[in-house]
Amino acid sequence: MANIMACKQRVIIHIDLDCFYAQVEHVRLGIPFYTPLAVRQWDALIAVKHTTAKEAKVLCPDCKSHYYKFYLKDIILQHVATYKSGDSFPTYHDSPNQQSHKVSLDIYRMASRNIFTVMKSVIDRYCLDSNPSKVGSYKLEKASIDEAFFDVTNLISWWGPEDGEIESVRVDQDGFLIDWTGLGFLIGDVETVLRGGIDDVRLYLGAKIGAELRKTVFEQLGYTCSTGVAQNKTLAKLCSPLNKPNNQ
């Protein structure tokens, strides 16, 4: 059988933080994630975390913050931190206004840096556990404050059938039998144990890395994210929202 190294197919993981700005405020305030919360900048909403699909249908994305307060009586409307004259650091002022305060998004930028630092450490650890020569062989491309692409093609290309077994992957004369249980939603399939080729094994390894990224970020920092694993960036980005939130 051919070694995976001989396969040219890429493996891309798209990471998308779930309702990122609202999550940062949930973590900062120490409140349950099911608590309805909207993050606002003056009278515009930059993130809304709903509790039910019914409530989400009532609310339109272009609504002003007072409409949300009307429809969701218990929603927390959290204004972003601001500076006022004399402030050395951004503060969550009770009644900021555009004439005397300046918006700061530093808390969200810091949270983003912490999250992606943890993610990079997860992949480096994966390299050390599987093949130390591949440390740093992945590519990270941040798309925004709350999403990024990990190209793990080189990281997983070391494996071939002669390298031994992979958990949940069996090799026989007909190819590979892969058990995808626990690794998310497979587009176009209802079964979790499927026969496939080398490209499918590569995607399986990428899915395992994606699951570990999500698990570690939540355990260490308290944030949930969704991932899409595919053979190019476009497909990976299209896949990541299909099983939201907190899944892949």
CB neighbourhood size of 26 (10 A)? 21
Task: Output the pLDDT for position 56.
Answer: 44
Residues 6+ apart with CB under 8 A from 207: 180, 183, 184, 229, 248
* Contact residues for 170 (Cβ-Cβ < 8 A; gap 6+): 176, 177
Tokens of 57: 């249908």
**If you count them, how many residues does the chain have?**
248
Which tokens in the block code for residue 188?
Answer: 């176009």
Predicted confidence pLDDT, tens digits, the chain (248 residues): 344 444 458 899 999 999 899 999 999 999 887 788 889 898 888 888 765 444 444 444 455 555 555 556 677 888 998 998 887 888 888 888 888 888 889 999 999 999 999 998 888 887 766 666 666 667 889 999 999 999 988 877 655 544 455 667 777 667 777 777 777 777 666 566 676 777 788 888 888 899 999 999 999 999 999 999 999 999 999 989 888 888 88
pTM attached to this predicted model: 0.81
Q: How far apart are the first and last CA of the chain?
A: 30
